[in-house]
Structure 1
Amino acid sequence: MALTDFAIRAIKTTGEKQKFSDGGGLQLWVSPQGTKTWRFAYRYLGKQKDMVLGQYPIVGLSEARQRRNDAKTQLANGIDPAQQKKLDKVAKAISHATTFRVVAEEYLDKQKREGRSETTIVKNRYLLEQAFPAIGERPVAEIKAAEVLAILKHLEKRGTLETAKRVRATIGAVIRYAIATARAESDPTTALAGAIIAPKVKHRAAILDPAELGAFLRAVDRFDGQPTTVAALRLLPMVFTRPGELRMAEWREFDLANARWVIPAKRTKMRREHEVPLATQAVAILKELHALTGKGRLVFPGLRTVERPISENTLNASLRRMGYSNDTVTAHGFRATASTLLNQSGRFSPDAIERALAHQDPDAVRRAYNRGAYWKERVEMAQWWADYLDRLRKGADVIAFEKRSGTEAE
């Protein structure tokens, strides 16, 4: 006979275990102390088994019947419901132990072991810290798009649009790492493309006029900063690498006899080794600098310790001391300077200029070919560019190049 709530509440303890059937394998067991527990009796692979469905009245009669029906559905699909319950419990425990913060820390550690720069890791940690208060302790597999959106909307409201964009990308990277390590199944950030206001693209300030560039080079010659800083400011327009690649350069990377500088993959943005041909002027600057810092590891050591290089802020602060505002020129802007003027000169192929800027071709075969094919042209270009800068520094009358489409240099 099927049970009712009235009948269940009327059951009195007898000091002995009691068992009441609701039909279909659903039973209510009453302990000698009066505790009422729902159990489901069933047969699986010829063996009699049972499983706990919950305690009454926390699990009411209708809920107990639903749980019995769910278990019977599993049986019909060849699944042992008791075993599946154990597996679900383990999976849930693992899920709750695998929080977003735990996976994020693993992701940062992986970046460190892959040789990512300390600056990159610090930036990524800062971005993740914007998310930790909201989702740090959430199981990574359970994070919903709405939760991430709330984080992004908060940043958008503060006006930090670029940060919001980068936070979304970094959260997505962590969750995709969780997917790759079997701890999540989908990335909710993919659904949030276009959900917030896109930041306006702000190009790094750069000098693009030849006459203004000549005036800048003369200002560097007059600058009374530290010798290492002055040397860096003289080299940066000439080699037009990314500022961090120059600042953190080590003497062992240079072959001055063959006028070649090899930047290791771990220090390049694209994580690929990049070779830089050195003009005679660049070699001369480096030889002068070697007399000052050649006994150490770093080409441009800082003032406080020779074990750390000068900072990008040191370079930009020096530009400010020279009278150049942040809207006029930045340390990174010399890449755009070289890219624009070299393209406008019409003397060199765009592919050689792209290779000099370390803008890598995504095709591995083409990349390997281009590495060798454009080296001779890049050597010629490096010397022509250094000579051109010398002419500008001396105040020569230089006819502006015909305007051509330049290359965005990052």
Structure 2
Amino acid sequence: MLTELSVQSMKPKAQRFIRADRDGLYLEVVPGGQKYWWFVSQAGGKRKKVSIGKWPDVSLRRARELLAVKKREAGIACFSPAVEGVLLSEIAEEWYRVRISGFSEGHRARVRRWLDDYVLPKFKGRALATITGPEILAVCREAEGRGHFETAHRVLNVFSQVFKYAMPFYVQGDPTAILAGKLAPVRTKHFARVTDAREVSVLMRSIRGYPRPRVRNALLFSAYTFCRPGEVRMAEWGEFDLERAVWRIPAEKMKMRRPHIVPLAKQVVELLMDQKGRIDAAGLAGRFVFPSERGASRPMSADTVRIAIRSMGFGADAMTAHGFRGMASTLLNESGLWSPDAIELQLAHVEGNSVRAAYNETTMLPERARMMQWYADELDGLENGLP
């Protein structure tokens, strides 16, 4: 059986050659490097070569779909014994390569773990078409039995995505469709954060008094910009334009895989200039804004901000590194001064409706810039005890 990777890596030879997929689908590679899909139809005792399309205009998956359509139109069975015997592991691995490869390293690792821990071991050697909904539910219930309720839902979704990827060539339906509502619901996880004005005042004063200046700058930067912890610690000097007061985060660093602009309040510009002087003096100058104490070639540890917050007396149930985002969302929305869309866009919460569906990094940027300056001033005011 062919895979997307094998088709892509197939090199031309001096003579044309053919490679077979399944159920009569063939790929022909000609000396010029072009690749063509076709199958052989037999009717009235005559064989006919039927073209399906040219790769990459027609992908392997699309070629299989078109083959099934053409065979149905010709009255030929679409599911041969060879196709019905294709293994779950084969399709799951192909789905992972084709559909998950474009996501972040962290997401790829999580999906890989769900495959290796739950999906593949339970159905080793099993044909995809023989797997039933109740069997899949039993696997998900194992995760529930360990108290991993969210994982159970994630694993169910992986099964569903694999079956949908296999349709209509290898299977005719998704057996997980009958499992809606069968798993225990997952409570929405809200990261601990402070939102009361008095609590914010205490937090900001605690940060300002934190004894390690470079870590203090990371804490203040997190508060003022309310970016995700990973985006903060991986920030690089080359992403900043301090003259224009903007931070341009590339798509590959963003959870939503879209480029993002953070307008910088004057407090943040001053903070970054201070940080630059401190890391230069410490011999840690490099590409990272918040380098590790162990050397400039690596970013600050993911635990550094968390440990600092704990050392200031805020428990895990009161405040987290991610909690700066929830704190900003609450204070900005409660102020009534800013468009909900501007707030959500600055939080990089891109949804599939209204202005958010047409999002690019500059959407509503003037309002977002005013909002970021207001928010920094608000935090400073609360720190200094102003109403």
Question: With structure 2 as the length reference, what TM-score do the two structures score?
Answer: 0.71
Q: 1:317 to 1:176 in 2, by over 3 A?
A: farther
Count of residues in correspondence between the two structures: 314
Output one character per residue of 1:111-135: Cα deviation in whole Å (capped at 9) or x when no partner: 6642x22222222222222333212
Which residue in the other structure is 1:191 paired with? 178
Residues of 2 paired with 1:280 and 1:232: CA distance?
A: 16
Which residue in the other structure is 1:6 paired with? none
Residues of 1 paired with 2:122 and 2:371: CA distance?
A: 52
Task: Report 1:36-55 matches (<5 A).
Answer: none
Output one character per residue of 1:179-229: Cα deviation in whole Å (capped at 9) or x when no partner: 48x4444322232121011122232111001121121112122223472x3
2:367 matches 1:388 = no
Q: 1:312 to 1:259 in 2, by over 3 A?
A: same
Asked if structure 2 preserves the Cα contact closer than 8 Å seen for 1:111 and 1:121, the reply is: no
Report how far residue 257 of structure 1 moved.
Answer: 1.2
Asked if structure 2 preserves the Cα contact closer than 8 Å seen for 1:205 and 1:326, the reply is: yes
Q: Alignment partner for residue 132 of structure 1, among 103, 117, 120?
A: 120
Q: 1:136 to 1:378 in 2, by over 3 A?
A: farther
Question: With structure 1 as the length reference, what TM-score do the two structures score?
Answer: 0.68
> In structure 1, the residue corresponding to 2:193 is in which secondary structure?
coil
Output one character per residue of 1:336-358: Cα deviation in whole Å (capped at 9) or x when no partner: 11111111112222221122111
Report how far residue 162 of structure 1 moved.
Answer: 1.7
Q: Alignment partner for residue 145 of structure 2, among 142, 157, 160?
A: 157
Which residue in the other structure is 1:200 paired with? 187
Residues of 1 paired with 2:129 and 2:45: CA distance?
A: 37
Q: Which amino acid aligns with 1:231?
A: N
Bigger Cα Rg: 1
Residues of 1 paired with 2:150 and 2:129: CA distance?
A: 26
2:325 matches 1:339 = no
Report how far residue 373 of structure 1 moved.
Answer: 5.7
2:210 matches 1:223 = yes
Which residue in the other structure is 2:11 paired with? none
> In structure 1, the residue corresponding to 2:324 is in which secondary structure?
helix
Which residue in the other structure is 1:73 paired with? none
Q: 1:289 to 1:344 in 2, by over 3 A?
A: same
Residues of 1 paired with 2:164 and 2:292: CA distance?
A: 38
Q: 1:188 to 1:311 in 2, by over 3 A?
A: farther
Q: 1:383 to 1:285 in 2, by over 3 A?
A: same
Q: 1:308 to 1:157 in 2, by over 3 A?
A: same
Report how far residue 266 of structure 1 moved.
Answer: 1.9
Task: Report 1:297-336 matches (<5 A).
Answer: 297-304=287-294, 306-336=296-326
Q: Alignment partner for residue 352 of structure 1, among 342, 349, 352?
A: 342
Runs of 5+ consecutive residues of structure 2 not aligned to the other structure: 1-42, 47-73
Q: 1:301 to 1:126 in 2, by over 3 A?
A: farther
Q: Which amino acid aligns with 1:88?
A: S
Report how far residue 383 of structure 1 moved.
Answer: 0.8
> In structure 1, the residue corresponding to 2:291 is in which secondary structure?
coil
Residues of 1 paired with 2:187 and 2:304: CA distance?
A: 27
Asked if structure 2 preserves the Cα contact closer than 8 Å seen for 1:144 and 1:188, the reply is: yes
Q: Alignment partner for residue 232 of structure 1, among 198, 214, 218?
A: 218
2:166 matches 1:174 = no
Q: Alignment partner for residue 91 of structure 1, among 57, 64, 83?
A: 83
> In structure 2, the residue corresponding to 1:223 is in which secondary structure?
coil
Task: Report 1:100-115 matches (<5 A).
Answer: 100=89, 102-110=90-98, 113-114=101-102
> In structure 2, the residue corresponding to 1:275 is in which secondary structure?
strand
2:237 matches 1:251 = yes
Runs of 5+ consecutive residues of structure 1 not aligned to the other structure: 1-43, 48-77, 399-410
2:107 matches 1:120 = yes
Asked if structure 1 preserves the Cα contact closer than 8 Å seen for 2:143 and 2:149, the reply is: yes
